[in-house]
């Protein structure tokens, strides 16, 4: 996918998250894009690694910077204690009108991600995305030990939270594979 | 008994940079000494004549600043006990682990630019796919020459390498994931908000270029830096680098300094076009148009070899790289005919449209299009307010909202400049009216 097409798909994700009353900060966009790409196979071609707050793409962060510079996205600060939101910029509509085809091609998958994650807070997104990442990237870890591995990699997540995240991800995979 | 004498090096930015005899072994090694011959800002000295400083002194400066940051953020008085996620990862002050990681961090900071090619970033395009200067740096650190020195002074080369190349490249090249503490250490060196690398290059480049844009109160900023949970309770508790509220203005000044340095120095149109000509020259001059990836071969290339070849080829009209060398050596570089304005940025790809039309009119070989965006513009970091609550920088100061821009230029060959300017004056509106989308 070329850069402007990718930007159009990202903008459609931002819009659908916002339609679902998502806070839509950078964490929401990072994790939503991660699931969209790695779980639902939309070929956005970002490299994700396990970093702060779970799976994170430096390429995507640079893409967001570029989109802000191009007035495709805007950062909207929020009063304490909330982090800033990402909202469509002045050029967003023009881009989405110009690149309708990629948006239409992936609209169902973008909608599924928005349906699943729009109403989640950042800590839940961090846990679930981390659980999915560990289950996918640490094949040496048996199913029963994924939660332990999550705690080892992210000590600020409790074992109970990690176990709940592993169960959520297993259910999510079932639901999305059936739909 | 090992002599641990402290050595002092004079520096125009930090006054004195001190290192001990063990660290000096790394400083004196050929891979590090090579950095005396790599310009920090490539051919920028052709625009700003004072900007002839090298990666050598910048690397020393990064070591100095990284040490200062480490000492501040690990000082027990600066660790907020109410944040367990922070308290639990910082080693006990002055105990073995604390000193071990301090030494490793200093050496990683010192070595962070070893893999730079001649003329720094501009040449990276001439490495094979999946290679970049960070990977070259890793290869040199893990190569026998430097790894032996590091082991001799009880530092693990693998630890140095992963702090230098950071989480993304460690995953890609070393197949390891950094833990939370290692992420913090890596962030101290090359972090996108307050990394020592960023602080030193802004201060140093500004000083040598003779501009004031890159200056900010780094003393105050470093003094107020803390490891903090990213968000207030209920949000992510993952520890990251942030500041106490007293440092917010200094952080703001750093962000603005970076913005101005990009617009005035790093993305100066003449510097950008010299980069293009240099790239063309290197593609033509190098064997198969690529730099080698073997670290021993890599160390043989510095700016000096390239400049020497360029001067010689500029005199030799039959050499295939002559035209590119001539453009640089004799200042016959392409001239800018178009720079995108704030109004043009309401269009999607204005520069590309101008470039396509100009190429059709004047020939593709006589026109170049350069678009640059200030990347790694991160402005979301935690701020500790009144010692009790974590706020987000963008919520505290509007400056952190949006300080980034796109710089777009179209250049034509020097001899066509006047004709091209007249042509653009008459056709600009018509060309840009078609620049809605791709």
Give every CB contact of residue A99 below 8 A, 6+ residues apart in sequence.
A4, A5, A7, A8, B437, B438
| Closest by CA position to B171, among listed A145, A36, A58 | A58
Find how far residue A160's CA is from the centre of its chain. Answer: 23
The tens digit of pLDDT for each residue in B33-51 reads 999 999 999 999 999 999 9
Q: What is the mean pLDDT of residues B393-412?
A: 82
Residue of A68, A91, A98 lying closest to B402 (CB–CB): A68
pLDDT band at B418 (very low <50, low <70, confident <90, very high): very high
Interchain pair A65, B375: CB under 8 A: yes
Q: Tell me which residue has tokens 């032996």.
A: B148
Whether the ω angle into residue A81 lies within 30 degrees of 0, i.e. cis, is yes
pLDDT band at B348 (very low <50, low <70, confident <90, very high): confident
The tens digit of pLDDT for each residue in A9-53 reads 999 999 999 999 988 988 999 999 999 999 999 999 999 998 877
DSSP-assigned beta bridge partners for residue B243: B225, B383
Distance CA B259, CA B334 (A): 25
Distances (CA, A) of B231 to B209, B237, B426: 39, 6, 54
Q: Which residue of A has its CA nearest to B389?
A: A81
pLDDT beyond 60 at A102: yes
The tens digit of pLDDT for each residue in A41-66 reads 999 999 999 887 789 999 999 999 89
pLDDT of residue B438: 45
Chosen for mutation from A27, A70, A94 (greatest number of chain B CBs closer than 10 Å) is A70
Distance CA B392, CA B384 (A): 9
pLDDT of residue A81: 72
Distance CA A53, CA A77 (A): 20
pLDDT band at B149 (very low <50, low <70, confident <90, very high): very high
Task: Kindly list the residues from chain A whose CB atom is less than 8 angstroms away from the CB atom of residue B184.
Answer: none
| B382-385/B239-244 β-pairing | parallel
Q: Residue B91 CB: number of other CB atoms within 10 A?
A: 15
pLDDT beyond 90 at A153: no
DSSP-assigned beta bridge partners for residue B58: none
Q: What is the mean pLDDT of residues B403-431?
A: 93
pLDDT beyond 80 at B12: yes
Q: What is the mean pLDDT of residues B194-203?
A: 97
Name which of A26-30, A174-178, B92-96, B374-378 the model is least confident about. B374-378
| A85-88/A73-76 β-pairing | antiparallel
Give the 3-state secondary structure of residue A72.
coil
pLDDT of residue B358: 98
| Closest by CA position to A4, among listed A114, A142, A130, A97 | A97
| Closest by CA position to B26, among listed B1, B70, B68, B56 | B56
Strands (E), chain A: 49-51, 54-56, 73-76, 85-88
Name which of A19-23, B130-134, B374-378, B419-423 the model is least confident about. B374-378
Task: Kindly list the residues from chain A whose CB atom is less than 8 angstroms away from the CB atom of residue B171.
Answer: 49-50
pLDDT beyond 70 at A170: yes
Name which of A35-44, A142-151, B189-198, B296-305 the model is least confident about. A142-151
Residue of A4, A71, A84 lying closest to B394 (CB–CB): A84
B6-261: CATH architecture: Orthogonal Bundle (1.10)
Assembly ipTM = 0.77
Distance CA B157, CA B177 (A): 16
pLDDT of residue B398: 76
pLDDT of residue A78: 79
Distance CA B295, CA B297 (A): 5
pLDDT of residue B346: 83
Task: Kindly list the residues from chain B whose CB atom is less than 8 angstroms away from the CB atom of residue A58.
Answer: 168
Interchain pair B436, A98: CB under 8 A: yes
Task: Kindly list the residues from chain A whose CB atom is less than 8 angstroms away from the CB atom of residue B186.
Answer: none
Q: Which residue of A has its CA nearest to B397?
A: A77
At B316, list the tokens: 């030799």
Q: Which residue of A has its CA nearest to B171?
A: A49
Q: What is the mean pLDDT of residues B290-308?
A: 96
Rg (CA), chain A: 16
Interchain pair A122, B235: CB under 8 A: yes
Q: Are B408 and B355 in contact (CB under 8 A)?
A: no
Q: What is the mean pLDDT of residues B156-165?
A: 98
Distances (CA, A) of B128 to A88, A138, B123, B280, B370: 37, 29, 11, 16, 22
CA distance B375 to chain A (A): 6
Distance CA A45, CA B235 (A): 29
pLDDT beyond 90 at A103: yes
| Closest by CA position to B218, among listed B230, B234, B203 | B203
pLDDT of residue B376: 64
Give the 3-state secondary structure of residue A47.
coil
pLDDT of residue B413: 97
Q: What is the C-alpha end-to-end distance of chain A, expressed in Å? A: 25
Q: Are A84 and A76 in contact (CB under 8 A)?
A: yes
pLDDT beyond 90 at A142: no
Task: Kindly list the residues from chain A whose CB atom is less than 8 angstroms away from the CB atom of residue B377.
Answer: 65, 68
Q: What is the mean pLDDT of residues B355-383?
A: 90
pLDDT beyond 70 at B390: yes
CA distance B382 to chain A (A): 9
Fold of B334-438: Alpha-Beta Plaits (3.30.70)
Burial of B20 (0-12, 13-18, 19+ CB in 10 A): middle
Q: Tell me which residue has tokens 């929020």.
A: A78
pLDDT beyond 60 at B2: no
pLDDT beyond 90 at B274: yes
| Better-scored residue on pLDDT, A92 or B400 | A92
Angle of helix B55-74 relative to helix B96-111, nearest 10 degrees?
Answer: 160
pLDDT beyond 70 at B435: no
Largest CA distance in chain A: 49
Q: Are A74 and A16 in contact (CB under 8 A)?
A: no
Angle of helix B96-111 relative to helix B180-190, nearest 10 degrees?
Answer: 40
Q: Domain residue spans in chain B?
A: 6-261, 334-438
Q: Are A148 and A159 in contact (CB under 8 A)?
A: yes
Per-residue three-class SS string for chain B: CCCCCEEEEEECCCEEEEEEHHHHHHHCCHHHHHHHHCECCHHHHHCCCCCCCEHHHHHHHHHHHHHHHHHHHHCHHHCCCCCHHHHCCCCCCCCHHHHHHHHHHHHHHHHCCCCCCCCHHHHHHHCCCCCCHHHHHHHHHHCHHHHHHHHHCCCCHHHHHHHHHHHHHHHHHHCCCCCHHHHHHHHHHHCCCCCHHHHHHHHHHHHHHCCCCCCCCHHHHHHCEEEEECCCECECCCEEEEEEHHHHHHHHHHHHHHHHHHHHHHCCHHHHHHHHHHHHHHHHHCHHHCCCCCHHHHCCCCHHHHHHHHHHHHCCCCCCCHHHHHHHHCCCCCEEEEECCCCHHHCCCHHHHHHHHHHHHHCHHHEEEEEEECCCCCCCCEEEECCCEEEEHHHHCHHHCCCCCEEEEEEECHHHHHHHHHHHHHHHHHHHCCCCCC
CA distance A127 to chain B (A): 10
């Amino acid at each position: 996918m070329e850069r402007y097409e990718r930007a159009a798909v990202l903008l459609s994700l931002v819009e659908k998250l916002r339609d679902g009353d998502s806070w839509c900060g950078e964490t929401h966009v990072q994790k939503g894009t991660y699931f969209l790409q790695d779980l639902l196979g939309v070929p956005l071609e970002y490299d994700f690694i396990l970093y702060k707050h779970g799976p994170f793409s430096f390429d995507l962060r640079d893409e967001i910077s570029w989109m802000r510079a191009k007035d495709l996205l805007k950062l909207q600060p929020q009063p304490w204690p909330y982090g800033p939101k990402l909202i469509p910029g002045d050029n967003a509509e023009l881009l989405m009108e110009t690149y309708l085809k990629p948006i239409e091609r992936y609209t169902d998958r973008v909608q599924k991600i928005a349906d699943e994650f729009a109403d989640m807070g950042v800590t839940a997104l961090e846990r679930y995305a981390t659980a999915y990442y560990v289950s996918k990237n640490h094949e040496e870890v048996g199913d029963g030990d994924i939660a332990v591995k999550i705690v080892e990699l992210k000590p600020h997540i409790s074992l109970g939270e990690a176990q709940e995240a592993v169960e959520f991800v297993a259910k999510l995979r079932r639901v999305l594979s059936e739909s | 008994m090992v002599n641990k004498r402290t050595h002092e090096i004079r520096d125009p930015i930090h006054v004195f940079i001190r290192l001990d005899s063990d660290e000096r072994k790394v400083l004196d090694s050929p891979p590090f000494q090579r950095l005396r011959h790599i310009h920090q800002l490539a051919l920028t000295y052709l625009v700003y004549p004072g900007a002839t400083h090298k990666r050598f002194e910048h690397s020393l400066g990064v070591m100095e600043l990284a040490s200062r940051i480490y000492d501040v953020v690990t000082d027990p008085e600066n660790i907020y006990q109410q944040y367990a996620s922070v308290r639990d990862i910082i080693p006990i002050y002055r105990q073995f682990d604390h000193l071990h990681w301090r030494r490793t961090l200093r050496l990683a900071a010192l070595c962070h630019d070893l893999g730079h090619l001649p003329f720094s970033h501009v040449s990276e395009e001439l490495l094979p796919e999946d290679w970049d200067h960070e990977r070259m740096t890793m290869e040199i650190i893990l190569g026998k020459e430097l790894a032996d020195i590091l082991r001799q002074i009880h530092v693990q080369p693998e630890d140095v390498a992963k702090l230098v190349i950071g989480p993304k490249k460690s995953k890609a090249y070393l197949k390891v994931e950094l833990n939370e503490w290692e992420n913090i250490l890596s962030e101290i060196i090359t972090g996108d908000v307050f990394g020592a690398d960023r602080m030193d290059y802004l201060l140093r480049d500004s000083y040598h270029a003779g501009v004031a844009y890159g200056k900010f109160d780094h003393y105050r900023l470093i003094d107020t830096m803390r490891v903090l949970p990213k968000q207030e309770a209920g949000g992510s508790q993952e520890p990251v680098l942030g500041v106490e509220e007293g440092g917010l203005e200094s952080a703001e000044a750093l962000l603005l300094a970076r913005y101005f340095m990009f617009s005035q120095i790093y993305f100066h149109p003449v510097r950008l076009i010299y980069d293009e000509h240099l790239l063309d020259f290197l593609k033509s001059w190098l064997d198969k148009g690529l730099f080698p990836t073997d670290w021993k071969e890599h160390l043989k290339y510095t700016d000096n070899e390239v400049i020497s070849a360029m001067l010689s080829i500029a005199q030799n009209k039959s050499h295939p790289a002559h035209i590119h060398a001539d453009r640089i050596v004799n200042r016959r570089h392409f001239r800018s005919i178009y720079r995108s304005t704030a109004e043009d940025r309401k269009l999607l790809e204005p520069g590309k449209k101008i470039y396509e039309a100009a190429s059709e009119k004047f020939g593709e070989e006589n026109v170049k299009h350069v678009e640059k965006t200030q990347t790694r513009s991160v402005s979301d970091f935690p701020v500790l307010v009144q010692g009790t609550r974590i706020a987000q920088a963008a919520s505290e100061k509007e400056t952190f909202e949006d300080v980034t821009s796109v710089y777009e230029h179209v250049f034509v060959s020097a001899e066509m400049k006047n004709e091209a300017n007249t042509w653009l004056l008459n056709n600009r509106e018509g060309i840009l009216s078609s620049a809605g989308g791709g």
